[in-house]
A = this chain, B = another copy of it.
Amino acid sequence: MIIQLEQGISSQEANKIRDKVNSLGFKTTDVITQRCKYIIGIGKKEIDIRQLGGMAGVSDVHRVSDAYKLVSRKWRVKPTEIDLGDGVVIREGDFAMMAGPCSIESEEQIVQVLEHLNANGVRIMRGGVYKPRSSPYSFRGLGIDGLKLWHEHAQTYGIKIITEVMQSSQIEDLCKYADILQVGARNSQNFNLLDALGEVDKPVLLKRGISGSLSELLQCAEYVFSGGNEKLMLCERGIRTYETAYRNTFDLNAIPILKEKTHLPVIADPSHGIGVRAYVEPVALAAVMAGADGMIYETHCTPEKAFSDGQQTLDFRESEALIKKTRATFELRKSF
């Protein structure tokens, strides 16, 4: 049960509501986000919610039977919009493009990618400065210095930055220079990290776990939201199956299912979704058609020389073609 509170509610009124909800057999959790105050009631009892709806300080009451509550579309019908400033907004009805290299490698590389994105009207650049790698002996990213450099250049283009956060202790620094923090597939159920991201006022993109269920992904979003941060989006990036003809199995079905279940934007990652450079484009365009609100993909001046993920990274010519086709495809979908 979600009890949405009035903005100016007094602590006395809030206490009364909490006591009432407890007395009805529900465990309560207080949630204060950038946008609103809520009391979440967890319990299985069937009650007449009108007895709560009439109380002073209550703005609205909703019953949500899913394990996740605040991220459910059963409660909030209006799609979440995430405003990054400078006119860059991620929302249903637009199509957000995010592109860039797997890893930030050098100043030269940063500028090359920014130039490419700028020339093609892409307003968000991706890139890793902390890299989760299967082997401890692999390149692990340039760290915060790489991000500072990147930030400096990105600002001159008015291009926003999305980068991966791997542990709570990185959040404070990353928040200074990045516009969106990404939680990677391997950390998708790192609950302490999710808790910590709930406490900041910075948009978060949550990738689905390597074999995460959609229900788990939504509950991970609930962690961040109930921690206080409503600025959330979800990302389908392929799941692990028995098939070995490609890297991951892009779960196209996840897109319409997530769009039904949550008000959060749904982003597709076709690069990890198939893991084969030649087929990033068809997967990407399919995701547009299936209802995604945006896309994040890998591009690099010379993919063959990329420090990581070169085999699934587009060169700039391929990237430009993808951008154009994506726009045409999105226009067609909107026309339906």
One of B223, B290, B332 near A328 (C-beta < 8 A): B332
Whose C-beta in chain B lies nearest to the C-beta of A286? B286
Cα of A216 to Cα of B136 in the assembled complex, Å: 11
A111 at the interface (CB under 8 A from B): no
Contact A273 B253, CB 8 Å, known A135-B219, A245-B213, A332-B332 = yes
Cα of A136 to Cα of B222 in the assembled complex, Å: 7
Cα of A95 to Cα of B214 in the assembled complex, Å: 32
Q: Which residues of B contact A27 (CB under 8 A)?
A: 137
Cα of A329 to Cα of B285 in the assembled complex, Å: 11
Cα of A194 to Cα of B166 in the assembled complex, Å: 12
Cα of A286 to Cα of B332 in the assembled complex, Å: 12
Q: Which residues of B contact A278 (CB under 8 A)?
A: 256, 260
| Contact yes or no, B291 A242, CB < 8 A | no
| Contact yes or no, B240 A246, CB < 8 A | no
Q: Which of A222-278 contact B (CB under 8 A)?
A: 222-223, 226-227, 239-246, 249-257, 260, 273-274, 276, 278
Instruction: Mark A20-35 against chain B: 1 for CB-CB distance below 8 A, else 0.
Output: 0000000101000000
A-B contact pairs, 21 of them (CB 8 A): A40-B137, A134-B189, A136-B219, A187-B189, A187-B190, A190-B190, A213-B242, A213-B244, A239-B243, A241-B241, A241-B242, A242-B242, A243-B251, A244-B244, A245-B254, A246-B253, A252-B252, A256-B282, A282-B289, A283-B290, A286-B289
| Contact yes or no, A245 B215, CB < 8 A | yes
| Contact yes or no, A329 B289, CB < 8 A | yes
| Contact yes or no, B250 A279, CB < 8 A | no
Place the interface of chain A in its size category. 35 or more
One of B226, B286, B333 near A136 (C-beta < 8 A): B226
Q: How far is the CB of A187 from chain B (nearest CB, A)?
A: 6
Q: Which residues of B contact A286 (CB under 8 A)?
A: 252, 286-287, 289-290
Cα of A69 to Cα of B135 in the assembled complex, Å: 10
Q: Which residues of B contact A190 (CB under 8 A)?
A: 166-167, 186-187, 190
Q: Which residues of B contact A325 (CB under 8 A)?
A: 336
A157 at the interface (CB under 8 A from B): no
A65 at the interface (CB under 8 A from B): no
One of B209, B252, B282, B289 near A210 (C-beta < 8 A): B209
| Contact yes or no, A249 B257, CB < 8 A | no
Q: Which of A185-222 contact B (CB under 8 A)?
A: 186-187, 189-195, 209-211, 213-216, 219, 222
